[in-house]
Amino acid sequence: MITFDFSHELPSGQPCLVECEITPLDPGQSYGPPEDCYPAEGGYAEITSVTVSGEALGDERPTSVEVDMSDVWIRTRGQKFDLFLDDLAETAYDKWSDEQ
pLDDT tens for residues 57-92?
A: 344 555 666 666 666 656 556 656 666 777 788 888
15 versus 64: the higher-pLDDT residue is 15
61 versus 6: the higher-pLDDT residue is 6
pLDDT at 38: 92
Q: How many domains, the chain?
A: 1
> Mean pLDDT throughout 11-26?
84
Q: How many C-beta atoms lie closer than 10 Å to residue 15's C-beta?
A: 13
pLDDT at 75: 58
Domain span including residue 71 = 2-99
Q: How many C-beta atoms lie closer than 10 Å to residue 25's C-beta?
A: 13
pTM for this one? 0.66
